[in-house]
Amino acid sequence: MYEFSVKNLYLCSPKAAHGMSSQIKLFGGTASRYLAEEIAQFHDLSLIEAIVQRFSDGEIQPVIQESVRGDFVFFVQSTTAPADNLMELLLLIDAARRASANYITAVIPYFGYARQDRKDKPRVPISAKLIANLLTTAGASRIITMDLHAPQIQGFFDIPVDHLEASAIFIPYIKHSIPRENLIFAAPDVGGTKRARSYAKHFDADMVICDKRRERANEVSEMTVIGDVRGKDVVLIDDIVDTGGTLCKAAQMLMDKGAVSVRALITHPVLSGNAYEKIENSALTELVVCNTIPVKQDCSKIKVLSVSQLFATAIKRAFEYRSISSLFVG
């Protein structure tokens, strides 16, 4: 067995909760420790140590190093691959529940398995529903997440879900960093129409749709543009960039249709396979992503925006039983 140190974040509450002196205790899991540390810096919090033990056979045993009895515990962990990240989160939640934590919130910036939200062929699981069940059974009292691939996944939970939107990060970026004289928004597929339309409405701009057809997963066989992009600065809006194939193909097609430039604002940078190389060599001017998942390679076209302030504010308001609706950009 070997051990490595992780950070547990600690904040004293200015108010009592439920008539007792409760505290926020915020833990950064292995996959999202960097983000938890940013949240700590944003609130100028003290850090205390905790231990996640890994046995030689790969099993995980989290050990919470101090009492959480009666406290509000927040675990920050994206459930991106490998599956150990999800398992670690479940075990941390179980450990806090068995240690008599008052209220346990799973802060999941990127909710993995969200693309498996329905039975699209015979004899397949609805994985997103199973993950929701596992989190609830482990002992989570609330979920805070961002830009679920399918917003209706909130209905898979029987506990409260705070669903934050990356528009709170991206809209200020557009206002300050992207020319708006010839701005037009694009959805990379019909399913993303609602998301792109909300941005178009906010900026009183037009939108187009890149209609695609897949032969198999992660492979687009055909794509067409519904709308006119001639002379326009196009901004593609989406929630996930995985292999980058669809994104790069859409960017090239939009340029071929007469666009002046193509940018992409995409929340979760999964970026698997040779995605970084594809993006570097693509027609994209830039790809702007959030740090819900760490960007693992350098790429001159990728710009990362932090979600730490948004999550820090949501965590504080959840603790104080205050509304988080003001965090949304209408």
If phi > 0 it is left, if psi is from -120 to 50 it is alpha, else beta; for residue 253 that is alpha
| Alpha-carbon gap, residue 94 to 142, rounded angstroms | 14
| Alpha-carbon gap, residue 290 to 53, rounded angstroms | 29
The number of C-alpha atoms within 13 Å of 287 and in the hemisphere containing its C-beta is 34
Q: What is the CA radius of gyration of the chain?
A: 21
Q: What Cα–Cα distance (Å) separates residue 264 from each residue in 133, 185, 187, 272, 298?
A: 33, 10, 10, 17, 17
Burial of residue 39 (number of CB atoms within 10 Å: 0-12, 13-18, 19+): buried
Told to judge if 212 belongs to the known catalytic residues of this protein, a careful annotator would answer yes
If phi > 0 it is left, if psi is from -120 to 50 it is alpha, else beta; for residue 144 that is beta
| Alpha-carbon gap, residue 40 to 53, rounded angstroms | 23
Q: Which two tokens stand for residue 64?
A: 């919470």
| Alpha-carbon gap, residue 206 to 36, rounded angstroms | 37
> 212, 232, 249, 278: which one is catalytic?
212
Residues comprising the chain, all counted? 330
Contact call for residues 36 and 9 (beta carbons, < 8 A)? yes
The number of C-alpha atoms within 13 Å of 227 and in the hemisphere containing its C-beta is 21
106 phi and psi angles, rounded to 5 deg = -95, 115
| Alpha-carbon gap, residue 121 to 118, rounded angstroms | 9
Beta strands 46-54 and 72-76: pairing type?
unpaired
Catalytic residues: 212
